[in-house]
């Protein structure tokens, strides 16, 4: 695709998905955000913006900037994708409205409150088990282990095969970016995982009473098809695993590196959500989302032609100094309303209440049972086209 607007619009010659860029993503975020309200990424022939007000505006303008053509770099209306499009993530009104309503009901506040007690019990048990060893890997033994137990249990996934969850979810997010080394590595390691998902999303594979069977209840009532129900169950696998794991990793790391934040949480474990919200703002685990222009539209004096990709830099927007004071600081006293880690508008993350509940359960348990928390080694980054997180967080804790 060629650039079809005024040469005055900034062109940025950087590959956000190179290993070098992923080793210092904050530098790339700043580079793109400060180059202009909207910039042209020469490497991929797409638009990008990291300005908070522009990102928010595009999120809310679903009539001009559609999700149906895919939320990654690939236009899935024109190019074959590795999986069928999601009926909720890669869909727009009017069809999107029906599926969104169903998932909102399945993940309602009442449902979340019902799950809270069991989630909290698992969090308490896991934290006590881990911290009494004093040294542990926060990335895998807390941030990964907890969601991988409570979410599949809540949805009603079978006990067998859960080791396939991460390879499948990893492929989903690597495929949002270019077809590079990270994508092909994920594809190679997810062959059995895709077969597992096809098996697991079936009605018969889901435990009675779980969220998955509740979705199939809408098929029984004739509101959606059996295939639609399976696709909605798949959403838990493709969108609700890695994002929460990595968000928890960043929160643990921030608490270990910021004594005043840890003291703030220790003083009152009920502050866990406030801490988590600032971590989401400061370190969103899902830093990008894509949209496609449905027809010609102008934003910030930039004319977008039809069927052009626009990459929204959520992490950059969450650090936009035009929106946030001292945005680089992890400040648990900050008013975080307006951060874009979960998106906004009609496509705002439908599972955000679940993610918040998972995080507050684990973080509050950690605060109750732990006196001190620190890193005892280098955090090892996880290289991903579309997510940010770690493969290892060596930590030390002293039990309360």
Rounded to the nearest integer, the mean pLDDT of the chain is 95
Mean pLDDT score, 200-229: 96
pLDDT at 59 over 70: yes
pLDDT at 1 over 50: no
Q: pLDDT digits over 18-30, tens only?
A: 999 999 999 999 9
Ordered by start, the domain boundaries in the chain are 11-399
The Cα-based distances of 191 to 90, 187, 195, 238, 397 in angstroms read 23, 7, 7, 15, 38
Cβ neighbour number for residue 149 with a 10 Å cutoff: 16
The Cα-based distances of 304 to 5, 11, 56, 158 in angstroms read 8, 15, 17, 46
Instruction: Burial-class residue 6 by CB neighbours within 10 Å (0-12, 13-18, 19+).
Output: exposed
End-to-end Cα separation, the chain, in angstroms: 59
Q: How far apart are CA 52 and CA 168, in angstroms?
A: 31
CATH topology of domain 11-399: Cytochrome p450 (1.10.630)
Q: Tell me the pLDDT band of 2, cut-offs 50, 70 and 90.
A: very low
pLDDT of residue 193: 94
Rg (CA), the chain: 21
Q: How far apart are CA 278 and CA 338, in angstroms?
A: 11
Q: pLDDT digits over 238-293, tens only?
A: 888 999 999 999 999 999 999 999 999 999 999 999 999 999 999 999 999 999 99
Q: Tell me the pLDDT band of 4, cut-offs 50, 70 and 90.
A: low
Residue showing tokens 């809540």: 154
β-bridge partners, 395: 136, 375
- The H or E element that residue 57 is part of is helix 52-60
Q: pLDDT digits over 300-348, tens only?
A: 889 999 999 999 999 999 999 999 999 999 999 999 999 999 999 999 9
pLDDT at 92 over 70: yes
Q: Tell me the pLDDT band of 181, cut-offs 50, 70 and 90.
A: very high
């Amino acid at each position: 695709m060629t650039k079809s607007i005024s040469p005055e619009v900034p062109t940025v010659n950087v590959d956000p998905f190179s290993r070098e860029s992923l080793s210092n993503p904050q530098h790339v975020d700043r580079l793109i955000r400060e180059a202009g309200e909207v910039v042209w990424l020469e490497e991929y022939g797409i638009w990008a913006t990291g300005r908070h007000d522009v990102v928010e505006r595009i999120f809310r303008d679903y009539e001009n900037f559609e999700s149906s053509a895919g939320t990654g770099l690939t236009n899935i209306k024109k190019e074959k994708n590795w999986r069928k499009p999601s009926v909720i993530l890669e869909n727009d009104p009017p069809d999107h409205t029906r599926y969104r309503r169903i998932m909102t009901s399945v993940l309602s506040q009442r449902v979340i409150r019902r799950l809270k007690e069991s989630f909290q019990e698992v969090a308490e048990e896991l934290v006590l088990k881990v911290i009494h060893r004093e040294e542990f890997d926060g990335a895998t033994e807390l941030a990964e282990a907890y969601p991988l137990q409570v979410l599949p249990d809540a949805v009603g996934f079978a006990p067998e095969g859960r080791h396939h969850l991460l390879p499948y979810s990893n492929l989903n997010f690597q495929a949002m970016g270019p077809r590079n080394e990270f994508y092909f590595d994920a594809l190679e390691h997810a062959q059995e995982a895709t077969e597992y998902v096809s098996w697991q999303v079936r009605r018969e594979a889901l435990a009675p009473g779980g969220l998955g069977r509740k979705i199939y209840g809408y098929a029984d009532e004739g509101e959606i098809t059996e295939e639609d129900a399976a696709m909605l169950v798949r959403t838990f696998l493709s969108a609700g695993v890695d994002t929460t794991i990595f968000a928890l990793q960043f929160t643990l790391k921030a608490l270990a590196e910021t004594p005043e934040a840890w003291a703030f949480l220790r003083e009152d474990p009920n502050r866990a959500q406030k801490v988590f919200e600032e971590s989401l703002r400061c370190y969103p685990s899902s830093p990008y989302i894509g949209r496609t222009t449905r027809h010609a539209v102008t934003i910030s004096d930039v004319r977008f032609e039809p069927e052009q990709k626009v990459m929204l830099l959520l992490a950059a927007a969450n650090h936009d100094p035009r929106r946030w004071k001292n945005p680089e600081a992890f400040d648990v006293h900050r008013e975080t309303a307006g951060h874009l880690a979960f998106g906004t508008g009609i496509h705002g993350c439908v599972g955000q209440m679940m993610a918040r509940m998972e995080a507050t359960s684990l973080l509050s348990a950690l605060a109750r049972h732990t006196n001190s928390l620190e890193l005892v080694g280098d955090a090892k980054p996880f290289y991903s086209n579309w997510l940010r997180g770690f493969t290892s967080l060596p930590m030390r804790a002293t039990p309360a």
